[in-house]
């Protein structure tokens, strides 16, 4: 079984920062792309960022320059550093493991709320 366990969600003020973490079980972590999606109430699920096995990254335009995705293969962990947070960043954030585009494993989701 593959399990993804997230942490780091919570409440932040506009302009503040949060760091999300996602720990994945199994040895497949280092060979697969991982990333983050988010979904706000009443909105479609939005892809946020991903990071490949070689460390290359991609970001949605809405978070470029503010969010940074990284991974630590030794710890089987992917991170999402979120800076300069905006109220529109409020959403449930989901970590995923990309099984070569054929299927995905998902985390449980963690709530991020940005409000003054």
pLDDT in tens, 80-89: 999 999 999 9
Cα 69 from chain centre:
7
Average pLDDT over residues 2-8: 93
Average pLDDT over residues 32-39: 95
DSSP for residue 31: G
What is the dihedral angle through the alpha carbons of 70, 96, 6, 91, rounded to the nearest 10 degrees? 100
Average pLDDT over residues 24-48: 89
Percent of the chain with pLDDT over 90: 81
Q: Residue 107 contacts by C-beta under 8 Å, 6 or more apart in sequence?
A: 4, 5, 6, 22, 94, 95, 96
Please spell the DSSP secondary structure of 77-106, one letter per residue: EEEEEE-S--GGG-EEEEEEEEETTTEEEE
What integer best gives the mean pLDDT of the chain?
Answer: 94
Rg, C-alpha atoms of the chain: 13
Q: What is the pLDDT of residue 26?
A: 72
Identify the band that residue 29 occupies on the pLDDT scale cut at 50, 70 and 90: low
Average pLDDT over residues 50-63: 96
């Amino acid at each position: 079984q593959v399990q993804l366990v997230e942490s780091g969600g919570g409440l932040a003020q506009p302009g503040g920062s949060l760091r999300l973490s996602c720990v994945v079980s199994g040895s497949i972590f280092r060979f697969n792309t991982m990333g983050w999606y988010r979904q706000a109430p009443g909105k479609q699920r939005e892809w946020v960022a991903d990071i490949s096995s070689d460390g290359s990254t991609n970001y949605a335009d809405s978070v470029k320059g503010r969010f940074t995705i990284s991974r630590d293969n030794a710890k089987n962990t992917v991170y999402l550093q979120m800076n300069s947070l905006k109220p529109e960043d409020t959403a449930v954030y989901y970590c995923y493991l990309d099984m070569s585009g054929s299927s995905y494993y998902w985390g449980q989701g963690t709530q991020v709320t940005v409000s003054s």
